[in-house]
Structure 1
Amino acid sequence: MADRLSADFVVVGSGIIGSLAARKLALAGASVIILEAGPRVTLAELVARFRNSPRRSDWMSPYPSVPWAPHPIYQPEPNNHIVQAGAYPYAAEYIRQVGGTSWHWAAHAWRNLPNDFRIKSLYGVGVDWPFGYDDLEPFYQEAEEIMGVSGADNTGSPRQKPFPMEPVAEPYAMRRLRERLAPEYEVVSNTTARNSRPYDGRPACCGNNSCQPICPINAQYHGGLSADAAEAAGARLIANANVYKLEHDEKGNITAALYYDPDRASHRVTGKTFVVAANGIESPRLLLLSTSDKFPNGLANSSDMVGRNLMDHPSTSLTFDADEDVWLGRGPQSPSSINVMRDGPFRSEHAPYRLDFTNISRVDGATRALIAAGVYGSELGKRLRYSAAREMNVKNVLEVLPDPERRITLSSEKDEMGIPKPEARYSIDDYTRKGHERSQQDFQRIANLMGGSNLRFSKEGEFANNQHICGTLSMGNDPRTSVCDQWGRAHDHENLFLAGTAVLPTSSTCNSTENGLAVALRSVAHVLEQQGASTSATGISKS
């Protein structure tokens, strides 16, 4: 063991949720150490990698996996970091570096709807959350003020205060969708952590149309900014610190985190309270790795629920050619959606969903497809212009219900550091498939209203993955069916808290990051109150 480090709070994971939880703790006067498995990388490095990448449509190309902190890579060849063992492959993507996966997110910052917290009581499916919308509302607001969220009023989620700023300017293509679909659908601006005006020292969106994989000017919030804010508040961040085990005392309280550096030298960090905030795959993996004579099945796992209830948001889609030039590619990549199917009595029968419109430039994809088809010369130019100007795409974002058989476990295969790889068991059930089937009516009607031709539905039976990993450390009131309580405290360990999207009991229809962040900020407020810190639960000033 090389170092002996100690702090009031030890946070595992420097993503947007772990870093902002650490920031709030540090602002309250606590000593905080953040341990991040991957390296520290600057915005300039990431932008250069993207611009120089031969795979511009591969959003992971600026984020290579490193041997001491491997993460899933699928192009040009899969690295098989996640071992597949289920009925349906779960090709999750995430980034292990300072700031985590939100470096390349779409920045959607939707709140749940009030009914999303009570789907068992209301519709007889899934589970109820251990608290309700009103309990989380102040912390949604806190998250939105930190990140700088822009949005419109017609989201369906009640608000006590307005959004920090108005929506980003509507792209022309989205305006035409809104106008032409108006008789039957309301097209709304997406709620996003993206500046529509200068905010918190960052500029307004200038429409680079590269939100995924990287916003080159920091108009879009991301975990790198969160990590910077945590350090500015006084937290110490140690990069290249791959935590492979948590230790405990005879009472079951966590005493230390052990990590490998890139040379596989082991280090030990002690603390009073531990927060595991890696992600919905790496967090349960760590708990399952942390076996002992007292806890032979891993930490927080007396219920055998660690890693279970793996959820995401599968999508199917329709691509078509509109009957007018709309020119996708100007402004943000994911600016507008239809929300009428997010909630209703139908949830007792099939999955709810959002309908999300892409605004990603069609030039790269169309060029590759045409060249692959052997189209060259003047015909290439003609057909490329047509596709770039008229091609449109809409996808559904489907709810997945919690199911203990969908899970993350440990594989017998090991990664480059000699640590067992995560193994995924995933499936798509009838509830979600029926939601997909219902959405096809909307797809067809949207195409009709846009004068659509050349309709290309996604391949039957195939669902795209949205990388909204959640549910593997679900919170609940019953220690027999959940991993942690409503505050994120592990049922089995007094000083172990779990943070991130993994604790969400259900997936709803919205991207999981804002929900996970709001829950974490609520948990930190509770911890500080319990420990007597003199800070308010909300409204903490920005660093």
Structure 2
Amino acid sequence: MSETLSTDVVVVGSGVVGALTARKLALAGRQVLMLEAGPRIQRDQIVTNFRHSARKDDLVAPYPNSEIAPFPDYKPQDNGYLDQTGPEDYKPEYLRVVGGTSWHWAAQAWRLVPNDFRIKSQYGVGRDWPISYQDLEPYYYEAELLWGVSGPAAMAKYSPRTHPYPMEGVTPSYLEQRVMARLAPKYEVLTNTTGRNSVPYDGRPQCCGNNNCMPICPIDAQYHGGIAAAAAEMAGVTLKTHAVVYKLEHNDKGKITALHYYDWDKVSHRVEAEVFVLAANAIETPRILMLSADARNPNGLCNNNDQLGRHLMDHPSNSATFYVDEPLWPGRGPMSPSSIQQLRDGAFRTDSAAFRIDISNSSRVAGVTAGAIREGLTGAALDNAITYRASHELSIKNVLEQLPDPKNRTLLSTRKKDALGLPVPAFSYSFDDYVHKGMQHSLAVYADIAAMLGATNVRYSAPGVYSNNQHITGTLAMGSDERTSVTNPVGRAWEYDNLYMVSTGVMPTVATANSTLTACALGLRTADAILGKI
């Protein structure tokens, strides 16, 4: 073992939430060490990897995976990092690199709606948050300024705002304009609120419509955790890569005293600090706490009430694809430019899941070409099919609310270990009737939208088959009662007064908005708590 390091604050994980939290603490004068299990990466290399990859539809293909700090990869075959115990598979797609998973995201930046914080009180389902929308609203805006969020003023009817967006929404594509106009009699299609520049902002250019926001924006018009990590270092944070944290030490006075990590040579290191901030994702953070089990805490730290890792949630989805009765020419502008927000809240949430409908603007050329070739088309028939299908095909998808369920959980595998000899994450996962009813509701909306767009050849995802959206929440849930939560209302562990968690995992419910903006707002609020401002 190497010599012990010492710092004021150690932050575990360099994703966007951890990096912005670390930056805020450093700017306040704290000495901050940020540890990242994975390597540094550079945008130009990832863009090159993407351009040379045969797997253009695979979000993780351009990113370097490793034996020591692996992340899940399912194509062309599952790399086996995760252990599925059923009854449903849960297959997240996260990265372990400097900047984290937001390198390959769509940068969607919706806030939750106020009723999301009180769903139990309002609708009798799920659980209430220990804080209100009003408590988080100033931190939402703080995060939006750091990201450079663009969005339409009309979005404020769903999530009230004290200040306008830093930028107006990205200019609507032709597809977006036509869908907005066609659906306007019944559905309000709004330009998405995103961490994407509609004008030059913070030294980065405006979006120029490359249409490969996922897996990488080639010009950094789209915000990501790599930018956040660089900003943290500029603020004075020391970043150490190739540092796989595997254990926390504690004393009998309610304090964490040190952590241990392996470097990629499998040498163990020890770090002492006054404050410990776990900012890995909602799978890897519970894993660290479970790996820290000892005689006093046989089920892991922060797990005296068996809440750690429970209430795993994501956003189940399926889709509908069809040909519109006019050419829309998808493929220019952001891949996911607009959405229907009006079904994110309402009295129906008592019985069935709320949802959002996303409109896709991804280029259809590769997919329809492959399909036409499989059909045996050649020559002029192939050319005509590609032209028609690529210009007329539209895909829409739902993003469904999932309620917290203690049976849905992440835990340590009892049958698989990684290259360091550490148990890999395992999952127990399923969907309940609340999700299934929400799916049926959204299928009716799909059919209505298709009819309004004069659709032909309507194709739905396989019945009962759900994809997830990598919005991993719930496993570190904050609450007002330590018997039913892992952290208190500012993200501090109940059992240790110098251990904090900043992650999508602290969200008690998943609602219907992509989770990262909310997690960043919570992380910035936790930083204020660490600094004694709350």
TM-score range, shorter chain: over 0.9
* 1:47 counterpart residue number: 47
**In structure 1, distance between residues paired with 2:318 and 2:3:** 49
2:215 aligned residue:
213
Q: Could you say which residue in structure 2 is the equivalent of 1:170?
A: 172
Cα distance in 1, alignment partners of residues 67 and 348 from structure 2: 47
| 1:415 is aligned to 2:423 | no
Residue identity in the other structure for 2:279? A
Opposite residue 232 of structure 1, the aligned amino acid is M
Q: Spell out structure 1 runs of 4+ moving beyond 6 A.
A: none
Counterpart in 2 of 1:29?
Answer: 29
TM-score, normalised relative to structure 1: 0.97
Deviation at 1:124, TM superposition (A): 0.2
Q: Kindly indicate whether residue 14 of structure 2 is the aligned counterpart of residue 14 of structure 1.
A: yes
1 CA distance for matches of 2:75 and 2:122?
A: 43
Work out the CA distance in 1 between the residues paired with 2:365 and 2:285.
Answer: 38
1:323 corresponds to 2:307 = no
Partner of 2:353: 351
Q: Post-superposition shift, 1:64?
A: 3.4
In the TM superposition, residue 112 of structure 1 has moved relative to its aligned partner by 0.5
* Aligned equivalent of 1:463: 466
Per the alignment, residue 63 of structure 1 pairs with 63
Question: What are the Cα deviations for residues 227-284 of structure 1, in whole angstroms up to 9, with x where unaligned?
Answer: 0000000000001111111111232411111111111111111111000010011011
C-alpha distance in structure 2 between counterparts of 1:251 and 1:70, whole Å = 35
Letter in 2 for 1:57: D
Amino acid at match of 1:161: H
The 1:59–1:376 alpha-carbon spacing in structure 2 relative to 1, beyond 3 Å, is farther
Question: In the TM superposition, what are the counterparts of 1:88-167 in structure 2 within 5 Å?
Answer: 88-155=88-155, 156-167=158-169
Q: Secondary structure at the match of 1:411?
A: strand
Q: Deviation at 1:516? A: 0.6
Asked if residue 529 in structure 1 is aligned to residue 532 in structure 2, the reply is yes
**1:534 equivalent in structure 2:** none
C-alpha deviation, 1:367, in angstroms: 2.0
Q: Deviations over 1:18-58 (max 9, x none)?
A: 00000000000000000000000111111110011011111
Name structure 1 gaps, 5 residues minimum: 531-536, 538-543
User: Residues 78, 64 of structure 1: CA spacing in aligned structure 2 closer, same or farther, 3 A cutoff?
Assistant: farther
SS in 1 for 2:398: strand
Shift of 1:452: 0.4
Whichever residue aligns with residue 493 of structure 2, its letter is: A
- For structure 2, the 5+ residue unaligned runs are none
Structure 2: distance between partners of 1:384 and 1:134 = 50
Shift of 1:371: 2.6
CA–CA separation in structure 2 for the residues paired with 1:268 and 1:143? 32
% identity of equivalent residues: 54
Q: Of the candidates 242, 255, 258, which is equivalent to residue 257 of structure 2?
A: 255
Partner deviation per Cα, 1:337-357 (whole Å, 9 max, x = no partner):
011111011100100000111
Matched residue, 1:533 = none
Q: Do the aligned residues in 2 keep the contact of 1:168 with 1:194 (CA within 8 Å)?
A: yes
Amino acid at match of 2:479: G
CA distance, structure 2, for counterparts of residue 179 and residue 151 of structure 1: 19
| 2:31 partner letter | S
Alignment-mate amino acid for residue 85 of structure 1: T
Asked if 2 retains the 8 angstrom alpha-carbon contact of 1:308 and 1:404, the reply is: yes
AA aligned to 2:322 is F
Cα-to-partner distance string for 1:461-511 (whole Å, 9 max, x where unaligned): 101111100110000011000000000000011110011100000001000
1:88 positional shift? 1.1
Partner SS for 1:255 = strand
- 1:511 is matched with which residue? 514
- Report the 3-state secondary structure (helix = DSSP H, G, I; strand = E; otherwise coil) of the residue aligned with 1:117: helix
Q: CA deviation at 1:292?
A: 1.3
Counterpart CA distance in 2 for 1:56 and 1:495 is 44
| Counterpart code for 1:379 | A
Contact conserved, 1:57 with 1:364, CA < 8 A, in 2? Answer: no
Mapped pair 1:306 → 2:308:
yes
Alignment match of 1:233 (pick from 232, 235, 243): 235
Change (3 A) 1:376 1:58: farther
1:369 is paired with a residue whose SS is helix
CA separation in 1, counterparts of 2:84 and 2:377?
37
What is aligned with 1:495? 498
Do residues 481 (structure 1) and 484 (structure 2) align? yes
Q: Deviation string for 1:199-229 (max 9, x for gaps)? A: 0000000000010000011100000000000
CA distance in 1, matches of 2:376, 2:17: 47
Letter in 1 for 2:154: N
Look up the equivalent residue of 2:444 and give its one-letter code.
Q
Distance 2:378 2:399 in 1: 36
SS at match of 1:154: helix
Partner secondary structure for residue 246 of structure 1: strand
SS in 2 for 1:433: helix
Higher mean alpha-carbon deviation, 472-481 vs 253-262, is at: 253-262
The residue matched to 1:314 in structure 2 has which SS? coil
Instruction: Give matches, 1:181-220, under 5 Å.
Output: 181-220=183-222
Matched residue SS, 2:86: coil
Secondary structure of 1:85's counterpart equals: strand
Q: Which amino acid aligns with 1:464?
A: S
CA-to-partner distance for each residue in 1:174-208, whole Å, 9 max, x for gaps?
10000011111111011000000000000000000
Equivalent residue letter for 1:496: L
CA distance in 1, matches of 2:370, 2:6: 53
CA distance in 2, matches of 1:415, 1:321: 46
Deviation at 1:4, TM superposition (A): 2.1
- Secondary structure of the residue that 1:359 maps to in structure 2? coil
Instruction: Give me the TM-score of the superposition, normalised by structure 2.
Output: 0.98
Letter in 2 for 1:425: S
In structure 2, what is the equivalent of residue 179 of structure 1?
Answer: 181
CA distance in 2, matches of 1:3, 1:241: 15
- Deviation of residue 373 (structure 1)? 3.3
Deviation at 1:418, TM superposition (A): 1.2
